Structure 1
Amino acid sequence: MSHQLTLDQIRRAPKVLLHDHLDGGLRPATVVELADAAGYTRLPTRDPAELGAWFEAAADSGSLERYLETFSHTVGVMQTREALTRVAAECAEDLAADGVVYAEVRFAPEQHLEAGLLLEEVIEAVLEGFRVGQERAAAHGRSIRVGTLLTAMRHAARSQEIAELAVRYRDVGVVGFDIAGAEAGHPPTRHLDAFEYLRRENAHFTIHAGEAFGLPSIWEALQWCGADRLGHGVRIVDDIEVSDGKARLGRLAAYVRDKRVPLEMCPSSNIQTGAAASIEEHPIGLLRDLRFRVTVNTDNRLQSGTTLSAEFAKLAEAFGYGWDDLEWFSVNAMKSAFLPFDERLALINGQIKPGFARLKWATE
């Protein structure tokens, strides 16, 4: 029935997003306006439509340098309290307009200090933005809740400090911790003190692993660091052997499936970074068939020119997914969110399942 699912129908589905970068989701027009306000002169163009196209082309170029350059521009215009609050508010509004009912949006506070802000001021500005954005969405009849993940950069040395801030702000909107950045040469075990601290504090964290680097990255994230979820995790397929239509799981892949470790998969982004060859060949198809705890995410909406609805639409077309599949992904994501159990259950039973039931009834 997937051929009947249109992008507009999918947009009305109550969706859950776990892996979305704040500095990868700006509106092109906002980038231009913030650049003007900050005197930032390095943008490749000041025309919003052209700028949006440039971000996508640079991210699609196959050049990691060009891909990373795109973030120098977005982070470059996110250095004041006003800019951070605006970007966060618009993020919440844009996700709500796409039918997202719960999102965890991550950002690295240490990347927003160039204009003199303190780490605490960066965090508070973003939290304020999400509050404003949620209120604006509600005023338009759209319910969304946004939790924040504080990210530390794996090539830097501030992970302990960021982890302590994640714990400090966990009762006012910060729901977890993350590390990001180049995997190769920067193993997560370098930040073991931060992860051990978070575990002692009963805090939640995810680790970017198994995207650019393979199984050792996933193994370290889980068995040394104790990650609750894996950011991307696509390379877990390297531990799965398919022969004559039957899959044989290696020890690590079996552990990930048995333990229901959530995989934060970002199909369009994975193709841009070379972690997958195409949507049709993306490991998500096999992993869904094998019933791993797979979730669907956007990663960087600006660079990938995408939305969560668009990601679902691509998967529906590639794999023949229907409403039941999309609901399965959405419930997986809500089960895996860094919210208290009763709050996750309330969203599943109060919004996600009834929302999909209405869509199924309306399109049958």
Structure 2
Amino acid sequence: MSPTPEEIRSAPKVVLHDHLDGGLRPETIVDLAADHGHELPVPDADGLRTWFVDSADSGSLDRYLETFQHTVGVMQTREALVRVAAECAEDLAADGVVYAEVRYAPELHLDRELSLDDVVEAVQEGFRQGEQRAAEAGRPVKVATLLTAMRHAARSREIAELVIRYREAGVVGFDIAGAEAGFPPTRHLDAFEFLRRENAHFTIHAGEAFGLPSIWEALQWCGADRLGHGVRIVDDITMSDAGQPVLGRLAAYVRDKRIPLELCPSSNIQTGAASSIAEHPFGLLAKLRFRVTVNTDNRLMSATSMSREFSVLAEAFGYDLSDFQWFTVNALKSAFIPFDERLALINDVVKPGYAALVAQRTLAHLRPASR
């Protein structure tokens, strides 16, 4: 039985791949643009919401990247960063997310003379405010932070050091992002080696727009704990004459080592990884028991949420609540917070939450027969 929209919204969810600058409320962008003197392509919130989605769907990389000029462009003051982060936490909680790892690149928020430390402290303050407001509204959420370095820039070691400096203040890991082609992760080996020496966690955007070489470098040269997207691992899976999937060496390694895939179905459609959700590799990778997780990537640009991602996957692949619990537990197993915290969320929040939904469904099914 397919989950209802209300069941999906109520289900405890975990997101590991969500960009802070890809999830702003359009109303907030309009407000902040006025404060910053930033010119927007569309002046009103409703029109802006449509513009972001149309631009992301345009098939033009230049136009897609332009969207971030208008989010990052209004995130250049402490007040703006606090507000955006607080609203992010509230929006995730309202969607049933109980744990989130939200990432952003501190180096992109320095235009108004903030320091890297100023940026991190503002975002952390915002997340704490948002968590408090979500808890008061009866939808508690825990938000952790990943600090991202831009792979075309040269500040990765500096950002890695920032991760260590704030690891006791809610920063749980490191990431690199940006165009994969021409900017391999091995350009940042110094940062990754530093993080390993410091016993720190990191993920790498790999296997999204670029293929297997990017994944191989991220894992075997850089030592990534997780793969940001990683969807192109499907390129190492072929079909035998009998119609059975055959895993290549790299795909087998990823599955055997239980390396988490931060899959973002709707975003992957926009970037050309698949032509539709029904043809997305998620279905095959889940069937083959890879460590798949469901993620939003950029909620504004994809007009999405975790509930929507679950809904489109349910429609395409027939997933039920038990599948969503599996994906959610996968995500918590792969999270960068301590083991005891992950275990508590699994046993005290996620499993009871799904059990309650199943019980409600059973009761609703039996009730008419008892009259």
Match for residue 214 of structure 1 among 200, 211, 215: 211
* Distance in 2 (alpha carbons) for counterparts of 1:84 and 1:107: 11
Work out whether 1:195 is the aligned partner of 2:180.
no
Work out whether 1:235 is the aligned partner of 2:232.
yes
Shift of 1:7: 2.0
3-state SS in 1 of match to 2:251? helix
5+ residue gaps in structure 2? 363-371
* Distance in 2 (alpha carbons) for counterparts of 1:45 and 1:232: 31
The aligned counterpart of 2:201 is 204
Work out whether 1:157 is the aligned partner of 2:161.
no
Q: Could you tell me which amino acid in structure 2 is paired with residue 11 of structure 1?
A: R
* Distance in 2 (alpha carbons) for counterparts of 1:319 and 1:125: 41
Shift of 1:80: 0.2
Match for residue 29 of structure 1 among 27, 35, 48: 27
The aligned counterpart of 2:262 is 264
3-state SS in 2 of match to 1:123? helix
* Distance in 1 (alpha carbons) for counterparts of 2:201 and 2:238: 32
- Bigger Rg, which one: 2
The aligned counterpart of 1:291 is 289
* Distance in 2 (alpha carbons) for counterparts of 1:16 and 1:245: 34
* Distance in 1 (alpha carbons) for counterparts of 2:105 and 2:88: 16
Deviation digits for residues 108-139 of structure 1 (CA, Å, limit 9, x no counterpart): 00000001100000000000000000000001
3-state SS in 2 of match to 1:301? coil
Identity %: 75
Deviation digits for residues 277-331 of structure 1 (CA, Å, limit 9, x no counterpart): 1100000000000000000000000000000010000000000000110000000
**Under a length normalisation based on structure 2, what TM-score does the superposition of the two structures give?**
0.97
The aligned counterpart of 2:114 is 117
Match for residue 39 of structure 1 among 37, 40, 47: 37
**Under a length normalisation based on structure 1, what TM-score does the superposition of the two structures give?**
0.99
Q: Could you tell me which amino acid in structure 2 is paired with residue 302 of structure 1?
A: L
Aligned residue runs from structure 1 range 89-108, under 5 A: 89-108=86-105
Q: Could you tell me which amino acid in structure 2 is paired with residue 283 of structure 1?
A: P
Shift of 1:242: 2.1
* Distance in 1 (alpha carbons) for counterparts of 2:356 and 2:111: 48
> What is the root-mean-square deviation of aligned Cα atoms in Å?
0.6
Q: Could you tell me which amino acid in structure 1 is paired with residue 173 of structure 2?
A: G
Deviation digits for residues 3-41 of structure 1 (CA, Å, limit 9, x no counterpart): xx1222101000000000000000000000000011112
* Distance in 1 (alpha carbons) for counterparts of 2:92 and 2:298: 12
Please say which of residues 44-53 and 88-97 is displaced more in the overlay: 44-53
Deviation digits for residues 75-102 of structure 1 (CA, Å, limit 9, x no counterpart): 0000000000000000000000000000
Match for residue 322 of structure 1 among 317, 320, 334: 320
Deviation digits for residues 255-283 of structure 1 (CA, Å, limit 9, x no counterpart): 00000000000000000011121100000
Q: Could you tell me which amino acid in structure 1 is paired with residue 124 of structure 2?
A: L
5+ residue gaps in structure 1? none
3-state SS in 2 of match to 1:347? helix
Please say which of residues 20-29 and 274-283 is displaced more in the overlay: 274-283
The aligned counterpart of 1:20 is 18
Work out whether 1:226 is the aligned partner of 2:223.
yes
